[in-house]
A and B are shown apart, each in its own frame.
Chain A
Amino acid sequence: MLIDLTDQPIDVAAVLQAAESDEAGAVNAFVGTVRNRSEGRRVVRLHYEAYPPMAVHQLRRVAEMAQEKWPVLRQVAVVHRHGTLEIGDVAVVVAVSTPHRADSFAACQFIIDTLKEVVPIWKKEEYEDGTVWVSAHP
Protein backbone atom coordinates (compact mmCIF):
# COMPACT_ATOMS: atom_id res chain seq x y z
CA MET A 1 0.00 0.00 0.00
CA LEU A 2 1.28 3.45 -0.92
CA ILE A 3 -0.17 6.35 1.09
CA ASP A 4 1.38 9.80 0.89
CA LEU A 5 0.72 13.47 1.44
CA THR A 6 3.20 15.70 -0.34
CA ASP A 7 3.85 19.36 -1.11
CA GLN A 8 5.70 18.38 -4.29
CA PRO A 9 4.23 17.63 -7.75
CA ILE A 10 2.78 14.09 -7.88
CA ASP A 11 4.48 11.60 -10.17
CA VAL A 12 1.36 9.97 -11.62
CA ALA A 13 3.31 7.19 -13.34
CA ALA A 14 4.98 6.24 -10.05
CA VAL A 15 1.59 6.00 -8.31
CA LEU A 16 0.26 3.78 -11.13
CA GLN A 17 3.35 1.62 -10.85
CA ALA A 18 2.82 1.25 -7.11
CA ALA A 19 -0.64 -0.16 -7.85
CA GLU A 20 0.60 -2.84 -10.23
CA SER A 21 0.39 -6.50 -9.27
CA ASP A 22 1.12 -9.71 -11.17
CA GLU A 23 -2.19 -11.03 -9.79
CA ALA A 24 -4.19 -8.15 -11.24
CA GLY A 25 -5.73 -7.86 -14.69
CA ALA A 26 -6.89 -4.31 -14.01
CA VAL A 27 -5.27 -1.16 -12.73
CA ASN A 28 -7.76 1.68 -12.31
CA ALA A 29 -6.76 5.24 -11.50
CA PHE A 30 -8.47 8.51 -10.67
CA VAL A 31 -6.47 11.68 -11.22
CA GLY A 32 -7.93 14.84 -9.69
CA THR A 33 -6.74 18.07 -11.30
CA VAL A 34 -7.22 21.79 -10.70
CA ARG A 35 -10.09 23.20 -12.79
CA ASN A 36 -10.22 26.79 -14.02
CA ARG A 37 -13.88 27.43 -13.15
CA SER A 38 -16.01 26.89 -10.07
CA GLU A 39 -19.72 27.75 -9.94
CA GLY A 40 -19.29 30.25 -12.73
CA ARG A 41 -16.24 32.02 -11.32
CA ARG A 42 -12.82 31.90 -12.90
CA VAL A 43 -10.37 30.16 -10.58
CA VAL A 44 -6.82 31.50 -10.64
CA ARG A 45 -5.26 28.84 -8.37
CA LEU A 46 -6.01 26.63 -5.38
CA HIS A 47 -4.52 26.49 -1.92
CA TYR A 48 -4.73 23.12 -0.16
CA GLU A 49 -4.20 23.03 3.60
CA ALA A 50 -3.81 19.70 5.40
CA TYR A 51 -3.58 18.40 8.94
CA PRO A 52 -0.73 16.08 7.99
CA PRO A 53 -0.64 13.34 10.67
CA MET A 54 -4.41 12.92 10.69
CA ALA A 55 -4.68 13.23 6.90
CA VAL A 56 -2.18 10.39 6.39
CA HIS A 57 -3.89 8.31 9.08
CA GLN A 58 -7.33 8.84 7.53
CA LEU A 59 -6.05 8.17 4.00
CA ARG A 60 -4.76 4.82 5.28
CA ARG A 61 -8.10 4.14 6.98
CA VAL A 62 -9.96 4.78 3.71
CA ALA A 63 -7.63 2.42 1.86
CA GLU A 64 -8.16 -0.24 4.55
CA MET A 65 -11.94 0.21 4.32
CA ALA A 66 -11.66 -0.45 0.57
CA GLN A 67 -9.64 -3.59 1.25
CA GLU A 68 -12.35 -4.82 3.59
CA LYS A 69 -15.13 -4.10 1.08
CA TRP A 70 -13.17 -5.58 -1.84
CA PRO A 71 -11.00 -8.43 -0.55
CA VAL A 72 -9.90 -8.94 -4.18
CA LEU A 73 -7.95 -5.66 -4.07
CA ARG A 74 -4.33 -6.38 -4.78
CA GLN A 75 -2.71 -2.96 -4.41
CA VAL A 76 -3.90 0.46 -3.31
CA ALA A 77 -2.00 3.71 -3.85
CA VAL A 78 -3.27 7.13 -2.78
CA VAL A 79 -1.23 10.33 -2.96
CA HIS A 80 -2.63 13.78 -2.16
CA ARG A 81 -0.84 17.06 -2.67
CA HIS A 82 -1.07 20.16 -0.51
CA GLY A 83 0.19 23.70 -0.81
CA THR A 84 -0.48 26.08 -3.71
CA LEU A 85 -1.57 24.45 -7.00
CA GLU A 86 -1.98 26.05 -10.40
CA ILE A 87 -4.62 25.25 -13.03
CA GLY A 88 -4.02 21.77 -14.46
CA ASP A 89 -1.87 20.60 -11.56
CA VAL A 90 -2.58 17.14 -10.16
CA ALA A 91 -4.08 17.37 -6.66
CA VAL A 92 -4.75 13.70 -5.96
CA VAL A 93 -4.13 10.28 -7.49
CA VAL A 94 -5.92 7.09 -6.46
CA ALA A 95 -4.83 3.83 -8.12
CA VAL A 96 -5.99 0.30 -7.35
CA SER A 97 -5.52 -3.11 -8.88
CA THR A 98 -7.85 -6.11 -8.91
CA PRO A 99 -8.07 -9.35 -10.90
CA HIS A 100 -10.98 -8.02 -13.00
CA ARG A 101 -11.96 -4.50 -14.03
CA ALA A 102 -15.41 -4.07 -12.43
CA ASP A 103 -14.01 -4.24 -8.89
CA SER A 104 -11.23 -1.81 -9.75
CA PHE A 105 -13.67 0.87 -10.98
CA ALA A 106 -15.87 0.46 -7.88
CA ALA A 107 -13.01 0.43 -5.38
CA CYS A 108 -11.34 3.45 -6.97
CA GLN A 109 -14.59 5.44 -6.85
CA PHE A 110 -15.21 4.41 -3.24
CA ILE A 111 -11.76 5.62 -2.22
CA ILE A 112 -12.00 9.06 -3.84
CA ASP A 113 -15.60 9.59 -2.66
CA THR A 114 -14.76 8.60 0.94
CA LEU A 115 -11.53 10.60 0.92
CA LYS A 116 -13.53 13.73 0.08
CA GLU A 117 -15.77 13.12 3.11
CA VAL A 118 -13.29 12.27 5.84
CA VAL A 119 -9.69 13.25 5.10
CA PRO A 120 -8.74 16.55 6.81
CA ILE A 121 -7.65 18.55 3.79
CA TRP A 122 -9.13 21.94 2.95
CA LYS A 123 -9.29 23.66 -0.41
CA LYS A 124 -9.34 27.43 -0.80
CA GLU A 125 -10.21 28.72 -4.24
CA GLU A 126 -8.53 31.91 -5.33
CA TYR A 127 -10.40 34.07 -7.86
CA GLU A 128 -9.36 37.32 -9.48
CA ASP A 129 -11.35 39.19 -6.81
CA GLY A 130 -11.18 37.09 -3.67
CA THR A 131 -10.96 33.67 -2.08
CA VAL A 132 -13.43 31.08 -0.71
CA TRP A 133 -12.94 27.99 1.45
CA VAL A 134 -14.77 25.33 -0.58
CA SER A 135 -17.90 23.78 1.02
CA ALA A 136 -17.37 25.63 4.32
CA HIS A 137 -20.89 27.08 4.50
CA PRO A 138 -24.33 25.54 3.81
Chain B
Amino acid sequence: MINVALFGIAREIVGQSSLALPAGEGQSVGELLATLRTRYPELGRLRSLAVAVNNEYAGAEVALHERDEIALIPPVSGG
Protein backbone atom coordinates (compact mmCIF):
# COMPACT_ATOMS: atom_id res chain seq x y z
CA MET B 1 0.00 0.00 0.00
CA ILE B 2 1.04 3.59 -0.54
CA ASN B 3 -0.16 6.31 1.80
CA VAL B 4 -1.04 9.74 0.46
CA ALA B 5 -1.39 12.72 2.81
CA LEU B 6 -4.07 15.24 1.86
CA PHE B 7 -4.23 18.95 2.63
CA GLY B 8 -6.47 21.96 2.14
CA ILE B 9 -9.16 21.67 -0.50
CA ALA B 10 -7.88 18.21 -1.55
CA ARG B 11 -8.50 16.97 2.00
CA GLU B 12 -12.02 18.40 1.89
CA ILE B 13 -12.81 16.92 -1.54
CA VAL B 14 -11.69 13.44 -0.49
CA GLY B 15 -13.23 13.80 2.96
CA GLN B 16 -10.24 12.48 4.89
CA SER B 17 -6.69 13.57 5.69
CA SER B 18 -4.96 10.57 4.13
CA LEU B 19 -5.62 7.77 1.67
CA ALA B 20 -4.14 4.29 1.45
CA LEU B 21 -4.02 2.85 -2.06
CA PRO B 22 -2.87 -0.54 -3.34
CA ALA B 23 0.60 -0.02 -4.78
CA GLY B 24 -0.69 -1.12 -8.20
CA GLU B 25 -2.98 1.93 -8.41
CA GLY B 26 -0.11 4.36 -8.10
CA GLN B 27 3.19 3.00 -9.31
CA SER B 28 4.21 6.46 -10.45
CA VAL B 29 3.18 10.04 -9.71
CA GLY B 30 1.33 10.20 -13.03
CA GLU B 31 -0.61 7.02 -12.30
CA LEU B 32 -1.49 8.20 -8.81
CA LEU B 33 -2.85 11.50 -10.17
CA ALA B 34 -4.86 9.67 -12.85
CA THR B 35 -6.33 7.28 -10.27
CA LEU B 36 -7.30 10.07 -7.90
CA ARG B 37 -8.75 12.33 -10.62
CA THR B 38 -10.94 9.45 -11.80
CA ARG B 39 -12.11 8.63 -8.31
CA TYR B 40 -12.58 12.26 -7.20
CA PRO B 41 -13.50 14.34 -10.30
CA GLU B 42 -13.52 17.55 -8.22
CA LEU B 43 -9.72 17.25 -8.00
CA GLY B 44 -9.58 17.75 -11.77
CA ARG B 45 -11.24 21.17 -11.43
CA LEU B 46 -8.46 22.61 -9.32
CA ARG B 47 -6.09 25.19 -10.81
CA SER B 48 -3.22 22.77 -10.28
CA LEU B 49 -2.53 19.51 -8.49
CA ALA B 50 0.99 18.37 -7.65
CA VAL B 51 2.47 15.42 -5.82
CA ALA B 52 5.29 15.66 -3.30
CA VAL B 53 7.53 12.68 -2.58
CA ASN B 54 9.72 12.94 0.52
CA ASN B 55 9.16 16.71 0.76
CA GLU B 56 10.07 17.45 -2.88
CA TYR B 57 7.76 18.16 -5.82
CA ALA B 58 7.84 15.10 -8.09
CA GLY B 59 7.25 14.84 -11.85
CA ALA B 60 4.79 12.40 -13.42
CA GLU B 61 7.52 9.86 -14.20
CA VAL B 62 8.73 9.50 -10.60
CA ALA B 63 8.17 5.97 -9.22
CA LEU B 64 6.38 5.58 -5.87
CA HIS B 65 7.38 3.17 -3.13
CA GLU B 66 5.61 2.03 0.00
CA ARG B 67 8.04 3.81 2.32
CA ASP B 68 7.87 7.14 0.50
CA GLU B 69 6.18 10.06 2.21
CA ILE B 70 3.65 11.05 -0.44
CA ALA B 71 1.36 14.08 -0.38
CA LEU B 72 -1.15 15.62 -2.73
CA ILE B 73 -0.50 19.35 -3.11
CA PRO B 74 -3.44 21.49 -4.29
CA PRO B 75 -2.72 25.13 -5.33
CA VAL B 76 -0.68 26.69 -2.53
CA SER B 77 -1.65 30.09 -1.09
CA GLY B 78 0.75 30.93 1.70
CA GLY B 79 2.17 34.36 2.44
Known: A57-B55, A92-B79. A133 touches B9 (CB 8 A): yes
Q: CA of A112 to CA of B78 in the docked complex: distance in angstroms?
A: 9
- With A and B bound together, what is the CA distance between A92 and B78 in angstroms? 9
Q: Among residues 1 to 23 in chain B, which have CB atoms less than 8 Å away from a CB atom of chain A? A: 5, 7-9, 11-12
**Distance in Å from the Cβ of B41 to the closest Cβ of chain A?**
14
Q: Are B74 and A53 in contact (CB under 8 A)?
A: no
Minimal beta-carbon separation of A110 from chain B (angstroms): 13
Pair A54/B76 contact, Cβ less than 8 Å: no
Question: Is B47 touching A136 in the complex (CB atoms < 8 A)?
Answer: yes
Q: How far is the CB of A55 from chain B (nearest CB, A)?
A: 8
Majority secondary structure, A binding face = mixed
A133 touches B76 (CB 8 A): no
Taking Cβ atoms with an 8 Å cutoff, the residues of A that contact B are 32, 48-51, 53-55, 57-58, 80, 91-92, 112, 115-124, 133-138
Name 20 interchain pairs, CB-CB below 8 A, sorted by A: A32-B79, A49-B8, A49-B11, A50-B78, A51-B5, A53-B69, A58-B55, A116-B77, A118-B57, A120-B7, A120-B71, A120-B76, A122-B7, A122-B8, A122-B77, A122-B78, A133-B74, A135-B77, A136-B75, A137-B46
On B, residues with C-beta under 8 Å from A are 5, 7-9, 11-12, 45-47, 52, 55-57, 69, 71, 73-79
